[in-house]
Amino acid sequence: MSALSYLANRPDEVLDALRRGEVLCVDEAIEQVPDFFLLYAIESGLLDGLASSFPDPRTQQPEIPARVLLGAGIAGHFAGMYALSQLPYALHSPRLLAEFGVQVSVNEPGEGISRRGTKETAPFHGDVIRKVLEQIATLDRKEKRLPGQSLIDWYNQYAGVLFCRAIKAEPCIHILDCTDLSVNIKNEHYELSGVTSRQESPSAPKVSERGYKLGTLRSLLDGGAVMTGIAWGAINQHDISVTHDLVRQSTHLHPGDILLEDRGFLDAETINYLKLERGVDVYTGLKSDMLLLRVAVAQTEAHPGSWTPHPTRKGQEIQLVSGHSGIWEGLKVPMNVCVVRFADKKVAKDQHGWRYICFVTTDLSASAKQIIQTYQTRPEIEEDYRQLKSASWRLDKFCATRLIQILWHVILTLLAYNLFQVYANTKQGQDFAGKTRQKIEREHRKHPATYLVVCTASAYGVYPTAPLVHLMLGLPDDIRRILQTVLEKRME
């Protein structure tokens, strides 16, 4: 294919030229799933907001602006292109290129956005991104910070805010969690990675893992959620230490909000801080060896007539124990406890065959049923992480061992995921609501939207295939013969 210079997107002018037979090329363009999301990000101003706040270390006006780098990165992660060298190829849609102001759709070696061009058929070279990331890492190291901390700070200060603002969402329920990102245990070159040992059961052998730990603050929307905050650590760090600063500094936690945590985050100091300093109520579960659990269970046994059916699980019962304080060492705020009991033959007879689990909250207005219903939204994040690590998103697929590039991959994956979630909460994105990315792509492959790109010497236009073919069939015979010659050259 010869190089095509798209000097201007003037569809009306190009149609007039087509009717006269004065066109140079007619080519096919199939709209891909990522195009829907990227066009929304551009048209809504979301991409401009991300780009204008991006910690770009380049002091002079760059030839490849942050807007293009982020657009290519997000498009690449939708398309399964993860290596830095692949990302420029993600910008292939003529419609997207027109929106980005890129004037070259198909490049011969030596052409591209940069004055020096590239040696590949892509708008710019992947080294542009690599050099920007290395500059960010160098500046962070000079300030004795994690190489890539600037990217984490940028995400936490701007990304979540911009995604929520795009759909005028003000989430009030948030879920704090961590997931492990494993790498090759034998490869010691993964920068600042950690090593830990796991044992699935007492009889199973210990298994060593190398990798990182990603902490996330997931803020619930009407449908789905946005990852509004992130934290980072080595895989051997405790969840509490990794997310310590995130829960204290996040701008997404407001007075009256709810934060859901699992038992791995049990920390009296953090609960005190959130309730007393930020007015945020915590919902979490208790461990079986905690004194507060034993006291709450004893109190429910003293009121056998107060049990009510579990709202969603048949055969289970719940009871509220209100306003307990002074039992959990270090805890300075009272908590309501929802005690859940269910029959278990393995439990000793002196315990009447009941097994107990407890969920607690600092929201003293919450009933037992409300505690259960609120906490049951937390397991949704397990499905989120499963999706993010699946073949659809590949959150843990790293193409480099340098930490700055690993963080870049993780952040781009979360930006693409957030864009997917936010667009599905808009009117134009309703067709994507409640569907996984894999399902959407399968459906799209069955009925892809196709377009034709028509070029003149100075302009181009992109048109739906069927109406344009209908127009071309209605042209005079001499014009159709000219267009036939143009198409034949394209097929050579």
Per-domain residue ranges of the chain: 8-30+449-492, 31-139+400-446, 282-376
**Residue 104 above 50 pLDDT?**
no
* CA-closest candidate to residue 318, choices 294, 299, 342, 298: 342
In the chain, the N- to C-terminal Cα span, in Å, equals: 9
The pLDDT value given to residue 241: 96
**Residue 473 above 70 pLDDT?**
yes
The pLDDT value given to residue 97: 67
* DSSP one-letter string for 149-173: HHHHHHIIIIIHHHHHHHTT----E
Least confident of 27-41, 160-174, 186-200, 313-327: 27-41
- Give the type of residue at 43: E
Q: Is the dihedral of CA 301, 303, 304, 310 positive or negative?
A: negative
| pLDDT tier at 88, thresholds 50, 70, 90 | low
| pLDDT tier at 115, thresholds 50, 70, 90 | very low
Angle, helix 403-424 to helix 33-43, in steps of 10 degrees: 90
* CA-closest candidate to residue 38, choices 77, 80, 89: 77
Give CA–CA dist 347/297, Å, rounded. 15
Averaged pLDDT score across all residues of the chain: 84
Task: Count Cβ atoms within 10 A of the Cβ of residue 224 and give its class: 0-12 exposed, 13-18 middle, 19 or more buried.
Answer: buried
Q: What is the mean pLDDT of residues 168-172?
A: 93
Q: What is the mean pLDDT of residues 291-303?
A: 93
The helix or strand, by DSSP H or E, that contains position 176, with its residue range, turns out to be: strand 173-183
* CA-closest candidate to residue 280, choices 300, 261, 301, 308: 261
**Residue 113 above 50 pLDDT?**
no
Strand 194-198 relative to strand 354-361, pairing: unpaired
**Residue 344 above 70 pLDDT?**
yes
Give CA–CA dist 414/10, Å, rounded. 35
**Residue 346 above 60 pLDDT?**
yes
Integer Rg of the chain from CA: 28
Least confident of 228-232, 240-244, 345-349: 345-349
| pLDDT tier at 445, thresholds 50, 70, 90 | low
| pLDDT tier at 1, thresholds 50, 70, 90 | very low
Q: What is the mean pLDDT of residues 282-305?
A: 93
Half-sphere exposure of 458 (CA within 13 A, CB side): 3
Q: What is the mean pLDDT of residues 109-116?
A: 42
* pTM tops 0.85, yes or no: no
- Cβ-Cβ contacts under 8 Å for 233 (sequence gap 6 or more): 194, 212, 213, 215, 241, 242
Give pLDDT tens digits for 413-432.
999 999 988 888 887 766 65
Distance of CA 365 to the CA centre of its chain: 33
Pairwise pLDDT comparison (442 vs 416), residue with the higher score = 416
Q: What is the mean pLDDT of residues 237-253?
A: 96
The pLDDT value given to residue 11: 82
**Residue 331 above 50 pLDDT?**
yes
CB 240 within 8 A of CB 265: yes
Which stretches of 57-166 are assigned E, i.e. beta strand?
104-106
Residue with tokens 């490869």: 187
3-state secondary structure of 209: strand
The helix or strand, by DSSP H or E, that contains position 309, with its residue range, turns out to be: strand 308-309
